[in-house]
Structure 1
């Protein structure tokens, strides 16, 4: 009888499969009970409570978003929190005015969530807006909202710029103006006919006679919309924050996440760094008390910008995991998906020592990688023998090879935005590195092994730039610079002669 995969995992003690979801966004509710605090948690949560600016950085999959959820939850207890994750309207190298315009648009959403419900209350709790406030609100409504139609926009402008009694009088007048105009036209026609007859003037033409005239013009409440349409600047942002505070929207925290995921950036770390730099560098807005910022940033472009960023002025935390912390995360996940039947990884594996010494390092201190690796291991075990109650060493070995071979390296390693199909990327670099006999090398030893000749130095610079290799403290033969492969997956491929292909 065929054993279904679900029956196989239940035989291991798991009521629900723990390794089918790999992002925090997909399991936000689960993380409310499953969250395990990384090292960065304590200083970051303290900074959040104190309203300080926070900059989280780390590799993809290290749990930045999960930590961000915790910070937002904590900060939401005492502040208005707005998240910024759509950067598509900004140029690829935004100026300060572009960035401040984005902040103003985000604050505008907060503002109208507070303002518009009050505007619909005709008697109580109406906001006290002076003329300057009304003009600013009108400007924000016109230039920093995107979901309102033009007709709805103008109606909202009227509601904000004119009192309800003035609007009501205009509404009543405009309703009856048609009747008044008809009566006036009739009276004028009689008078005109009498005068024409007495003066012997010809009758009016048919078109002129049939045309009704508006003796009572429609009252249009003027809308002050003559604003400077230039990009938002520092003064506009300051005034918008002041208006938010006046309406009780305070304190304010802006959360910026997924900056590197804008589709236009094409995962190119240099382009992402150029996009990110204006957000961080020489930005006096970080030094005021009106706004708090929480950034979540991919580590590779952040490292490119970090030298220009005054990191010592703020709470800057790297999100990473030590082995015992990663095991805690795994154990918590197993416990919650087994209803406490499996409380430790050691209950799942026939050889827990092999798991800890060989499989765990392959996850590269990354929870997302560990979940994908566990997924491969369990599927390999299902293929080998679905009747077992413990995962075998053979399944772990097969799962490790499958994980390394089929991993999507583009997910973690940037590529050039204008790269040709045959240009060097992470897969090309790995192809050269696989020809090494060891995971440490000099430029000469790589040139000899891979046959890359005079281009080897440029290749090594490129590999170092994307974080694939790094310099060692020790020196190579004759004092040459010694490098080592940084990614444990690629080291595993070198030592086990595994072919990694982009079309795998």
Structure 2
């Protein structure tokens, strides 16, 4: 029998700690942050919003929940969390094309489920939709299209895939064989009965500054759609077409853009990557759609400096109180035990308080900590029916020794080694209260160098200034809970 079974859980409740791994049971464990209803209402009323929070605070879970509830309110919601191929800079047109291509693929899948939506569009609007499909619907395999089809959950299925196979082969084809076949834009357009448009005329609508003869003579008129101004007009038309087809409005939700692997978690590269999208209010502010963007809170000051209009696009800051984190943990335990176990059955009140304090107000790091404690209990005694005090203490120490500082602190302020060097200097001092003299004595450096070291850890948020002693010495207090725990355990150095 597994340890989780002895603890009366159906599965290990601490084996996952990210929203991406928890989508199947998100509804059962989700706790609403403060002012959630206002956020959802603003988005429904076409007000773009920034969702801001620390790593692991729950931005992705919130965006997933928003998407589900917006769809329930008849909002056409597109989630974009894959940025492969988007250049790091000079990328406004790339973001616009990404918005258009992802939206048209999902909208086509939605039309597959309910073709009657097309009845709400007039002839000119159908021509525009046909043009956008022709230019921006990238060829997909049947299996890829099925993924978009399954995402379009708003309408009941109409056996569209069976019709695709019948139309292509006059008889059903095994999915394993058909999975490699591609759906091209022309086939999708024809399957909806949309017209073959006068593309030159529509090009001219989106590119009025270009002569019609130039477009006609071009061997590849699509090259003109590399223009950001034209892409904005096409995106606006697409949003309006979706709204006209029967949806209340359209919203695009961007998630994990600051985690795009090509950025390397650096503040400078993140701000460069998102600068053109976030500073263009003509894209972000509209009466016809809304855009929601999740942002790491460590980047906000830099975005402020480059002109992101947080005064016009209201930030939604995610913060969790002690009681809210307790509620998050309690709901998770109830879910994984089919309500047979409560939080107080597993942990004492003092244990709960210590767990929450060490999490630094982050649900992800609360669960990561508990995952280590669970594994520690397994190693101590896998046949136990409780989590022992020994497992909690040893697990917390292991968690803190192995804490991923490099994943939490932005690399603009230093490399992975830099953050660990600065953490280890504090640990060698071995006190939660630090003075300049401590750095001089421990690091064997001059006063100016010691002052510069203190400035670095202040910038990281590891310590904060609390005042001066009677002798005029400036005093700083360690505020990072992981470092405080390690100091109390007399740990002098950690490594990665």
CA-based RMSD of the aligned residues comes to 3.7
**Aligned-pair distance for 1:128?**
4.6
Distance 1:107 1:359, change over 3 A: closer
- Which stretch shows the higher mean deviation, 326-335 or 487-496? 487-496
Aligned to 1:491: 484
Aligned to 1:392: 388
Distance in 1 (alpha carbons) for counterparts of 2:76 and 2:418: 43
2:50 is the alignment partner of 1:55: yes
Aligned to 1:300: 298
Distance in 2 (alpha carbons) for counterparts of 1:162 and 1:223: 19
2:434 is the alignment partner of 1:441: yes
Distance in 2 (alpha carbons) for counterparts of 1:356 and 1:116: 50
Q: SS of the residue aligned with 1:296?
A: strand
Of 5, 10, 26, 1:10 maps to 5
**Aligned-pair distance for 1:82?**
1.0
**Aligned-pair distance for 1:243?**
4.3
Determine if contact 1:265/1:417 at 8 Å carries over to the other structure. Answer: no
2:58 is the alignment partner of 1:36: no
Aligned to 1:256: 254
Of 259, 278, 281, 2:279 maps to 281
Of 375, 381, 392, 1:379 maps to 375
Q: SS of the residue aligned with 1:253?
A: strand
Cα offsets for 1:169-219 (capped at 9, x unmatched): xxxxxxxxxxxxxxxxxxxxxxxxxxxxxxxxxxxxxxxxxxxxxxxxxxx
Cα offsets for 1:320-363 (capped at 9, x unmatched): 2111111111111111111222122x2113xx143134332111
Aligned to 2:289: 291
Distance in 2 (alpha carbons) for counterparts of 1:13 and 1:315: 44
Distance in 2 (alpha carbons) for counterparts of 1:32 and 1:410: 31
Aligned to 1:86: 82
Aligned to 1:431: 424
Distance in 1 (alpha carbons) for counterparts of 2:25 and 2:128: 45
**Aligned-pair distance for 1:432?**
1.6
**Aligned-pair distance for 1:464?**
4.0
Q: SS of the residue aligned with 2:315?
A: strand
2:331 is the alignment partner of 1:332: yes
TM-score by length of 1: 0.74
- Which stretch shows the higher mean deviation, 134-143 or 294-303? 134-143
Distance 1:358 1:232, change over 3 A: same
Of 30, 40, 43, 1:45 maps to 40
**Aligned-pair distance for 1:102?**
3.1
Aligned to 1:356: 352
Of 40, 57, 62, 1:67 maps to 62
Q: SS of the residue aligned with 1:267?
A: coil
Aligned to 2:318: 319
Of 229, 232, 237, 1:234 maps to 229
Aligned to 1:404: 400
Aligned to 1:169: none
**Aligned-pair distance for 1:399?**
1.2
**Aligned-pair distance for 1:74?**
1.7
Distance 1:40 1:75, change over 3 A: same
Q: SS of the residue aligned with 2:22?
A: helix
**Aligned-pair distance for 1:117?**
8.7
Aligned to 2:205: none
Determine if contact 1:16/1:337 at 8 Å carries over to the other structure. Answer: yes
Determine if contact 1:101/1:233 at 8 Å carries over to the other structure. Answer: no
Distance 1:455 1:88, change over 3 A: farther
Q: SS of the residue aligned with 1:311?
A: coil
Distance in 2 (alpha carbons) for counterparts of 1:135 and 1:312: 35
- The number of residue pairs the alignment matches comes to 431
Q: Which has the larger radius of gyration?
A: 1
**Aligned-pair distance for 1:134?**
4.7
TM-score by length of 2: 0.75
Cα offsets for 1:245-280 (capped at 9, x unmatched): 246355210100001111111111222122233332
Distance in 2 (alpha carbons) for counterparts of 1:316 and 1:13: 41
Distance 1:79 1:143, change over 3 A: closer
Distance 1:389 1:141, change over 3 A: same
Distance 1:139 1:253, change over 3 A: closer
Determine if contact 2:430/2:490 at 8 Å carries over to the other structure. Answer: no
**Aligned-pair distance for 1:318?**
1.4
Distance 1:387 1:106, change over 3 A: closer
Q: SS of the residue aligned with 1:312?
A: coil
Determine if contact 2:121/2:241 at 8 Å carries over to the other structure. Answer: no
**Aligned-pair distance for 1:415?**
2.7
Determine if contact 1:266/1:417 at 8 Å carries over to the other structure. Answer: no
Q: SS of the residue aligned with 1:435?
A: helix
